Chain A
Amino acid sequence: MIMKRLLEFAGLEPERFQARWISGSEGAKFAATVQEITEQIKKLGPNTKMRDTDE
């Protein structure tokens, strides 16, 4: 919770860092969550923040 707020404060889009509780038996929830997050990220396009390092 603190980490997510800190990243947003530093200028990262909220969609890029998300956390969920999903237990090992919740396969469907896991798939749905990943799908949902993927769609949100695709809409945003590639991340440009913290990507200028040449490694």
Chain B
Amino acid sequence: MSEKKAHQEITAKLRAECKRLLETGTVHTVIGFAPGSMPGRTVPVFITNPQEVAQLTWNPFCAANLSKYLLDHHQPGGKAAIVVKGCDSRGIVRLLQDNQVLRDEVHILGIPCRGQYDHRKIPGGLEVEETEPLEQGTADVAHPELHLEKCAYCENPTPVIYDLLLDDAVAPSTDSKGRFTEITDLEAKTAQEKSTYWDDHFSRCLRCYACRNACPACTCRECVFDQFDPDWVSKRNNLTENTAFHLIRAFHVAGRCVDCGECDRVCPVQIPLRLLNRKIIKDLDELFEAPTPGTDLNVKPALGDFTPQDPDEFH
């Protein structure tokens, strides 16, 4: 099946299914994607009226991970339907494992994904006349070079958990070589070089906390960074406190980060946050042979479990 046909078919299927779910009262809300105000952009949409399902869309510009919105659309005893890609579905597993959402409170509409476009790469790389056909699914050429970085190596193009799959499953990349190249490259640098690299990035941080807000692993009701006068990090916006903030944020989701890349994508000053998270994922893989968190509902987070075989370096 060609890619262009698939988008239209999936959107039609999605709308019909959501209409049915809302009409029959199976779900109270549908969380999905709607066209944005510009070509090549989509926005999250929350639909409760079956007459409004035509707002729903599916195209390769649905980069956001909607899973975190489940926390805002919680109705005791009710069910919300949510549209997820493979990477997003790991976020659902995260919320389920952390008991933030119960399995019978969510109806998962999975869409196998062939990669999402990075709208930041579009303006320079593609004319609007080319963007629209991609979005509508009438383009003849795909542009993998304009995909989000995370899409270059995808572990789960097909959602790992779903109630309904809206398209044929897509096989994951088999070539895992180079999966952590950007991490080993930075690891190989000297402490001073690494420090300078991060100083350049962290000094730009606005402390807007968008990275935290978008994260399906960041679900504390009272976050340390919201406290009036936290002990280990202050609200001052300077390099030291920003560095402390970013290290604490990364460590708080260690072993639970599902590598959906939302922190990275939503950062208004393009701090490569995913690099920090992936460093931890790489170490967990090497030390505990831990798979990417969220891949399997039955695998406990590596740092939330103990076995006598765990490595010990602190003799």
Contact = CB atoms under 8 A, between A and B. Distances in A.
Contacts of B99: none
Interface residues of A, number: 22
Contacts, number: 76
A5 B236 contact: no
A19 B314 contact: yes
Contacts of A52: 238-240
Interface in B248-289: 250-251, 254-255, 276, 279-280, 283-284, 287
A20 interface: yes
B283 A1 contact: yes
A11 B303 contact: no
B182 to A, nearest CB: 12
B279 A53 contact: no
A6 B193 CA distance: 15
A53 B251 contact: no
A9 B276 contact: yes
Nearest to B310: A1
Interface stretch (B26-34, B45-53, B194-202): B194-202
A37 interface: no
A52 B154 CA distance: 40
B192 A11 contact: yes
Contacts of A10: 194-195, 198, 243, 247, 276
Chain A interface mostly helix, strand, loop or mixed?
loop
A20 B197 contact: no
B241 interface: yes
B251 A3 contact: yes
B196 A11 contact: yes
A50 B276 CA distance: 17
A45 to B, nearest CB: 13
9 contacts: A1-B311, A2-B251, A2-B283, A2-B287, A10-B195, A11-B191, A11-B194, A11-B196, A51-B240
Interface of A: 1-3, 5-14, 19-21, 49-53, 55
Name the 3 nearest CB pairs between A and B, nearest first: A11-B195, A11-B194, A53-B240
